[in-house]
Structure 1
Amino acid sequence: MIASLRLQADPSMHNSDRPLLLVIDDDEGIRKITREMLEERGYRVLGAASVGEGLRLFAERHPAAVLLDLRLPDGTGVDVLRELQRRSPGIPVVVVSGYGSVSDAVEAMRVGAFDFIEKPIALERLYEVVDRVTAPVRPRPEGEGEKVVDGSRYGTVGSCVPMQRVYQLVEMAAPTRCRVLISGERGTGKELIARAIHALSPRRPRSFIQVNCAAIPAELIESEMFGHVRGAFTGATADRKGKFESASQGTLFLDEIGDMSLLTQVKLLRVLQEGEVTPVGTSENRPVDVRILAATSKNLVEEIEKGHFREDLYDRLNVVNIALPPLRARREDIPALAEHFLRLACVENDLKPKRLTSRAVDFLVQLPWKGNVREIRNLMERLAILVGKDEVTHRDVMEALQMTTGPAALDDAPMPLKQARARFERQYIVDRLSANRGNLGHTARELGIERTNLYRKMKQLGIQPARPATVKPRG
């Protein structure tokens, strides 16, 4: 019976081209049976017995889909699911568990699982689900939409209005071939959005290749992108494909495109116009079928005015523009981001779960977050490691922040007196608001000013009022 259900692969498809699946389950017997059933179906299968091993194999082998147990010895399946979605937005994850209660299934599906299978695994059900989640993604019919609740489908966390617009643009752009320019400050998640576009596109089964234009020396970027032939330059001992050819029929993500030299911009423009690359050391033109996504933390319009970026290349890349908001413009998402990254850091570092107190959350919401989402993730990992208690307080947060900024950072950084005074006032008011659980009246009395003056000062300094904590009556 199993043989009759074998996956009908394309005869021209090599074994290495068949979908690779990752099974994360601590039960060796389940892993073995699942592997045998899926291999009979024509899939390639990897097995992992723990969270750590599963995340390592996922990073190394980039499977097309994951079958995930909800109960693992070193973490919960839901937290692993969140991390998989963060690393590879849109990755199909099927939850498989003997603890398949309704609440487990609802939580897993809410976080972003594609489907849920209960143990013991039924052969037909397994094949039906796995075949479906590994099938190529096709564009949705016109007029068919999906209500966006949060960012789990895209590997992000957040449901504020600016991010809802980002998700809408991802949904509209992903099924097409159009080029997308993703802009935003460093740490806002530009790579995540690029990966989401690829993962939700018909090119998902093919490669997603990333090139950091700022990290490659100018003298090597042409070879890196377009390839070279043997003898093209000293050290070129063999032919080598460039990123364009490696991303054939897939997606090429050009990160920090604003740092690309003008000479390379000219050659990139020619590739976009003609659909061909010319490796270094040869005059042979090779056709390429690649979707281009680009990202920048610079203002390219200003770079064009300065003569640092070509306007014709900008026009080619900027078919759809997705502008990511800085974290300070989406403060309502900070509590969810902080809780997610704290929970994830505890799982990754094999630590008992911790939670943030309401005062800690209020304090986090008021911080400037110049490093954006990347900064809050790093801070939560630091807190997970350094705080030994089950609760993380606002004092813990302040101490962890001082480890990076240092208590004398303000004194050591020369700035105009007006700016220094405003920075001190903002930090002091935030601290007192946190100590008073967001109560404006108590804080105003402590500061010796009227409540209306405090509110006006908060608005001037960009401090949002926190919701006062609710004290439950005893008994």
Structure 2
Amino acid sequence: MREYGESRRVLVVDDEPALRLLVGAVLHDAGWHVMEAESAETALSMLPDAGPDVVLLDMRMPGMDGLEALGAIRAAVPGVPVVMLTAYGTVGSAVDAMKKGAFDYLTKPADNEELKAVLAKAWDYSRLVAENRELRRETGSVDGFIGQTAHMERVRELVAQAGPTEATVLVTGESGTGKELVAAALHQSSMRVRGPLIKVNCAALPADLLESELFGYVKGAFTGANRDKPGRFQLASGGTLFLDEIGELPMELQAKLLRALQERMVEPLGGVGAVPVDVRIIAATNRDLAVEVAAGRFREDLYFRLNVLEVHIPPLRERMEDLPLLVAHLLEKLGRKNRKPVREVGPRFLEALAGYSWPGNVRELENALERALVLSRTDSLSVTDLPPQVLAGHAAPRMVPAPVGVSEEEAMASSMSPFAEPEPYIAYRPGPTSLDDAERQALMDALDAHGGHRQKTADALGISRRTLQYKLRKYGLARRG
């Protein structure tokens, strides 16, 4: 991998030779290594070898236009910042491009100082992305988004697009789906990653305490205030403030929050002046805020201020295809935590999990798996170790095919009993019979879906490439692809 002490590399894509010459000279003098392409098609052919840190892309060119080229470049080189060049009459198109992932845009003729400043900012972002990617590769860490369904791919895509920006993000989804994980991922992929991520649960405190927690107070503001205390806004300055359960915020505080967001200033309780703050806001809720607005329980202006971009996390019941991967990931984590590794799960274990609706989502799944792990007397988990509500939810809607010589009524009675022995159904249970089988099958499916491409497979599964390589060797799949 190229070290970042070397010359910064920019690919200038424009059909006007004079503009390429002028921009190239300015950037060369500023220390850039400049590469040129007269069309989007040429630029795409150059990308594999050019390895640009930044792409400067004209909006209007013969053949493939800027918007189409933007998508193709981002697909070919994920993470590379693309700065759009546009004439005054097409600024609206440039704004559309930014919504589709462009880093920034400049109008022609670009001011030389502005050009250098924007590309320097894009370079900083490019370096941060590369550093984060290298750190994840070295540590084997993951983003926490386990799964390969279209739902989770969309979540990853939105986080990748929104993370590097300063946009306020509203994370929605039922309780237990992982909204805090999304907030952490957005912070980690932002330019504020070196600043703090401060979390506030708006449902955990009464209104009077919540106000002082958010905005702080000065000495003497109320009985017991014997010193100045900065609020969470001030503590998060330079970083990200995560407002969890924002739908529970009392109406009287919604106006104060709106003012803080608009003015980037907060007024501590008892204070005589406003204090400037520099924070990025990420909010989360399990409520439908549009419904809350219509009912008069949430301010419409605050809703629009928060909902610049919405990232919706689907409930577990809508992505049950990810269940084997989630179970494998959670049991590996829980096994380490409890110093009790799990070798396999019983033949009806995964089927029982798949038959339950999981109203508490991934959080409830993790709790159920930890309970099963603690109760198990061996390194193999049985369906009888699962909580009663999971077994009850499994029994009603699902049936196990009866083995030869067993009546349908007997099979149903056996499948509905939480203490039924699963062994008679091993040969008839669909799907894998152990945790390793489930994970191995999921790996094979993901590899096939991505044509054997290792990095795309790792990204789809929500694991690092190093972890993927380890698992492929573990299951004898290293040569598959």
TM-score tier by shorter-chain length is: 0.5 to 0.7
Counterpart for residue 209 of structure 1: 198
Measured in 1, the distance between the counterparts of 2:239 and 2:274 equals 19
Structure 1 residue 225: deviation in Å?
0.5
Aligned to 1:166: 155
Compute the RMSD of aligned alpha carbons: 3.1
Distance in 1 separating the partners of 2:404 and 2:290: 47
In structure 2, relative to structure 1, the CA distance for the partners of 1:276 and 1:358 (3 Å cut) is same
Give 1:386's aligned residue.
375
Matches within 5 A, 1:413-424: none
Among 427, 430, 448, the residue aligned to 2:395: 427
Q: Which residue of 1 aligns with 2:125?
A: 138
Distance (whole Å) between structure 1 residues aligned to residue 146 and residue 256 of structure 2:
37
**1:344-403 deviation digits (Å, cap 9, x = unpaired):** 212111224332234211221121101100001011111111101221122333xxx12x
Change (3 A) 1:443 1:184: farther
Runs of 5+ consecutive residues of structure 1 not aligned to the other structure: 1-135, 411-422, 450-464, 471-475
Q: Counterparts in 2 of 1:107-118, with a 5 A limit?
A: none
Conserved? CA contact 2:340–2:379, under 8 Å: no
For residues 241 and 389 of structure 1, the distance between their equivalents in structure 2, rounded to whole angstroms, comes to 51
Q: State which of 261, 278, 290 in structure 2 corresponds to 1:272.
A: 261
Q: Deviations over 1:291-344 (max 9, x none)?
A: 000000111111111111000000000000001100000101111111221222
Q: What residue in structure 1 maps to residue 408 of structure 2?
A: 446
Partner in structure 1 of residue 338 of structure 2: 349
Higher mean C-alpha deviation, range 170-179 or range 330-339: 330-339
- Would you say the 8 A contact 1:369–1:375 is kept in 2? yes
1:220 — aligned with what? Answer: 209
SS in 2 for 1:283: coil
Distance in 2 (CA, whole Å) between partners of 1:269 and 1:469 is: 52
> In 2, distance between residues paired with 1:328 and 1:304?
27
Residue 248 of structure 2: aligned partner: 259
1:139/1:202 contact within 8 Å kept: no
Q: Distance in 2 between matches of 1:396 and 1:281?
A: 55
Q: What TM-score do you get using the length of structure 2 for normalisation?
A: 0.55
Q: Does 1:308 align with 2:297?
A: yes
| Residue 156 of structure 1, CA deviation | 2.7
- Given candidates 327, 345, 350, the residue that maps to 1:338 is 327
Q: Which amino acid aligns with 2:331?
A: L
Q: Deviations over 1:56-114 (max 9, x none)?
A: xxxxxxxxxxxxxxxxxxxxxxxxxxxxxxxxxxxxxxxxxxxxxxxxxxxxxxxxxxx
- Write the distance in 2 (CA, Å) between the matches of 1:280 and 1:321: 32
**What CA distance in whole angstroms lies between the structure 1 residues aligned with 2:124 and 2:340?**
38
Query: Which AA in structure 2 matches 1:427?
Result: A
Measured in 2, the distance between the counterparts of 1:152 and 1:168 equals 19
Query: Percent identity among equivalent residues?
Result: 43
Relative to structure 1, is the Cα distance of residues 185 and 373 closer, same or farther in structure 2, using a 3 angstrom cutoff? same
Q: Would you say the 8 A contact 1:226–1:278 is kept in 2? A: yes
Q: Is the 8 A contact 1:137 1:204 kept in 2?
A: no
Distance 1:406 1:182 in 2: 28
Deviation at 1:255, TM superposition (A): 0.2
Cα deviations by residue, 1:423-475 (Å, 9 ceiling, x for unpaired): 7xx72342x32xx4xx8x989961599xxxxxxxxxxxxxxx973569xxxxx
Counterpart of 2:54 in structure 1 is none
Question: Aligned letter for 1:316?
Answer: R
Q: Which residue of 1 aligns with 2:74?
A: none
In 2: Cα distance, 1:256 partner to 1:443 partner: 54
Question: 1 CA distance for matches of 2:381 and 2:142?
Answer: 29
Cα 1:182–1:200 change in 2 (3 A) is same
Tell me, in whole angstroms, the C-alpha distance in 2 between the residues paired with 1:292 and 1:230.
27
Conserved? CA contact 1:185–1:326, under 8 Å? yes
Runs of 4+, deviation exceeding 3 Å: 139-142, 441-445, 465-470
Higher RCO structure (Cα 8 Å, ≥6 apart): 2
| Distance in 2, Cα, partners of 1:203 & 1:210 | 15
Counterpart of 1:467 in structure 2 is 430
Q: Which residue of 1 aligns with 2:227?
A: 238
Asked whether the equivalents of residues 137 and 200 of structure 1 are also in contact (C-alpha less than 8 Å), the reply is no
Q: What residue in structure 1 maps to residue 22 of structure 2? A: none
CA contact (8 A) 2:347 2:429 kept: no
Gaps of 5+ in 2: 1-122, 134-139, 412-427, 434-481
| C-alpha distance in structure 2 between counterparts of 1:140 and 1:265, whole Å | 38
Change (3 A) 1:137 1:159: farther
TM-score by length of 1: 0.56
Spell out, residue by residue over 1:199-237, the C-alpha distance to the aligned partner (whole angstroms, 9 max, x if none): 111111110000000001111111110111000001100
Equivalent position SS for 2:200: strand
CA–CA distance in structure 2, aligned partners of residues 174 and 286 of structure 1: 26
